[in-house]
Amino acid sequence: MRLDLEKAFINRYVVKEKRQRYLGFVESDKHRGKFLGMLYHGQDLDISLLQELKGNYQVCLDMILAAAKSIRGGIGAYCISVNPLLDGKTLTTMEEIIPLVSSEEGFVLIFGDLEAVYYEGEAPYNQYLSI
């Protein structure tokens, strides 16, 4: 787990009133599920800091990959996910990232040191990229 990135994500993208609560959730294995539940449903995220991705799959994917490629150090993303097979993993290739888009729900990809963020929550209208 990259607790530093998870805390940075919370401090930037969770609404101010809820930040301390979610910081406590990620620090506790017992309560981590509450944080992941918020991710799935999108509650308490400050959507004003994100742009909704609209359009077909390829348009959304192209925007995500462009953001990823613009990060110093290239492709690579830390994943926070309701899926335990993905949660806490660092994805280092496009081949690992591409299958997630539009097929998984309830996850965040953090590119670099929070230079870009992709969020996919509960459908419909659930794909967002940091501004």
Res 107 pLDDT > 90: yes
Q: What is the structure's pLDDT at 74?
A: 67
Q: What is the structure's pLDDT at 17?
A: 97
Q: Single out the residue of 122, 43, 27, 118 nearest to residue 80, CA to CA.
A: 118
- Please state, in angstroms and rounded to a whole number, the distance separating the CA atoms of residues 92 and 54: 25
Q: What is the structure's pLDDT at 116?
A: 93
Q: What is the structure's pLDDT at 73?
A: 67
Number of domains forming the structure of the chain: 1
CB burial readout 64-98, b (16+ within 10 A) else e: bbebbeebeeebbbbbbbbeeebbebebeebebbe
Q: Average pLDDT for residues 106-113, to the nearest whole number?
A: 92
Q: Work out the mean pLDDT of the chain and round it to a whole number.
A: 90
Res 92 pLDDT > 90: no
Residue 99 DSSP code: G
Segment 44-91, tens digit of pLDDT: 999 999 999 987 888 888 988 888 888 876 668 999 999 999 999 999
Domain hosting residue 125, numbered range: 3-130
Res 5 pLDDT > 90: yes
